[in-house]
Amino acid sequence: MASLVSSPASPSISFPSTNPSSDRHHHRFLQTSRRHVVRCGIHDSLRFDNGSVPPSMPVINDSMLPGLYPGVRGLQGGIGRQNSRLRIFSGTANPALSQEIANYLGLELGKIKIKRFADGEIYVQLQESVRGCDVFLVQPTCPPANENLMELLIMIDACRRASAKNITAVIPYFGYARADRKTQGRESIAAKLVANLITEAGAHRVLACDLHSGQSMGYFDIPVDHVYGQPVILDYLASKMICSDELVVVSPDVGGVARARAFAKKLSDAPLAIVDKRRQGHNLTEVMNLIGDVKGKVAVMVDDMIDTAGTIAKGAALLHQEGAREVYACSTHAVFSPPAIERLSSGLFQEVIITNTIPLHEQKSFPQLTVLSVANLLGETIWRVHDDCSVSSIFQ
C-alpha cells in the first residue's frame, strides 16, 4: 500500500558572496524544502472482485472471488481527492465502468460537460482545474465507434489545453483494432490511423484492454500499457469447480491459437483444440473441421471479442457434433452486433461469459449470459501507472 515518508529538513547552509561590490549580500542562505515521497509497496499478484451489473444479468458474488484488499484502493492508501493529483474523467461511452473504477480508487469522477449540438458536433468542457494533474480519460471506442472516438479526441484536446501534466487515454475496447494490416490491395490500416489521431490529439499514454492483436501497440508513438481480461474470467471459471481432466480450451480460429494456448496454460494446463474455418467475407465464416479431441469434455471457447457471433456459434455447433458435453464461450469484448443475441441464446452454449468493457443494454441480455467487471483490474493498473509501479506483475 502506498505510504508517505517525510524526510527532515536540512540545516541552513551559507555561501560567501562572489560579488565584492555587494557587501550587504555577503551571505546567502538556502533552506532545503521538506518534501513527501510516495513509494509503492505492492508485491503480490492480484485477484479481482466481480463488479456490479444491471439486475437482469447473472453476476457472481464477492465470496467466489476474494478481492485483493478488504476495502477500496483509495481508502486503503489514503489517497483522497483533496491531496491527490490523480483525476479520472469519463466519456459518455461507458460511464458505469468509469464509476466503478473511481470507486475502486476511492475518488470521485471529475466534473466534465459533454454535449452535442444540433448538427452533431461534440462540445467538451472540463469543469474543474487539471493543471499539473495526472489525468485518465475512460472512453471505449465501442459502437457508435466514430462518435465515441471523436469524443475521446476532443476530451484529450481539452485536457491538453487545460495544462494537464500527463494525459492517459484509458480505452477498455479499442475500435478499429481489426483493421491492423492489409489483406488486399488498396486497403487502409485504420488501426494505425486511429493511433496517430490519439497521439496527435495530445495523449501521453494509452491503457488498453485485450487488443485484437499485439502488433497494434507498435502503431502508437507513445507508451501503451496492455492489460488482459484473463484473470477475471479465469477466477470465475475456477469458482465453477470443473474437473481439470474434463476441460479442453478451444480456439475458434487459427489466429487465436496463441491467446487460447496462454489461457489453457493458466487453466490447469488444459489441452488445446482448434476450429479450422474459411472466411467467405467480412462477418461471414464457414467452419471446416476440428483439430483436437473434445469428445465427452467441457469445451471452453476463448476469443477477444464477439461481434456477430458467427465464428463462435458455428464453432460451438461443430464441437457438439464432435461429442463435447458442454460448451462455454469466454470473451472480453461483447460487441454483439445483430444477429449475435439470437445465435448465442439458441442453446449451443451452457454459458456465455463476457466482461463490461463495452456497456451492455438490457435488451441484449439472455439467460446464459454472465457479465464480469474489469473495473478493479483497470483501477489497479491506473493506480500503478500513476504511482510509477510495475503493471506486468499483475499478470504474473
Q: Give percent of the chain above pLDDT 90.
A: 69
Cα distances (angstroms) measured from residue 57 to each of 4, 54, 240, 348: 41, 6, 18, 19
Residues 6+ apart with CB under 8 A from 13: 29, 30
Sequence-distant (6+) residues with CB within 8 A of 71 are none
Is residue 325 classed as helix, strand or coil in its secondary structure?
coil
* Residue 238 CB neighbours (<10 A): 15
Beta bridge pairs of residue 16: 27
Nearest alpha-carbon partner for 198 in 228, 164, 174, 172? 174
**Helix residue spans in 275-374 (DSSP H):** 310-321, 340-344
Nearest to 279 by CA among 332, 305, 304, 315: 315
Query: What cell numbers appear for 95 in the block?
Result: 460511464
- Write out pLDDT tens, residues 322-364: 999 999 999 999 999 999 999 999 999 999 999 999 999 999 9
pLDDT at 244: 86
Say whether the peptide bond before residue 58 is cis (omega within 30 degrees of 0).
Answer: no
DSSP characters over 77-144 = HT--GGG--EEEEE-SS-HHHHHHHHHHHT-PPPPEEEEE-TTS-EEEEESS--TT-EEEEE----SS
Structure confidence by residue, pLDDT tens digits, 175-201: 999 999 998 999 999 999 999 999 999
C-alpha cell read off for 367:
439467460
Tell me the angle at which helices 190-201 and 145-161 cross, rounded to the nearest 10 degrees: 20
pLDDT at residue 183, as a whole number: 87
Query: Can you give the pLDDT at residue 280?
Result: 63
Low-confidence ranges of the chain (pLDDT < 50): 1-71, 75, 77-78, 80-83
Tell me the per-residue pLDDT of 260-292, one tens digit each, with 9 for 90 and over. 999 999 998 999 999 987 766 666 657 578 999
pLDDT digits (tens, 9 = 90+) for 288-305: 789 999 999 999 999 999
Spatial separation of the C-alpha atoms in residues 330 and 318, rounded to whole Å: 17
Are 335 and 364 in contact by the 8 Å Cβ rule? The answer is no
Question: Are 142 and 91 a contacting pair, CB within 8 Å?
Answer: no
Confidence at residue 309, expressed as pLDDT on a 0 to 100 scale: 96
pTM over 0.75: yes
Residue 396: predicted pLDDT: 75
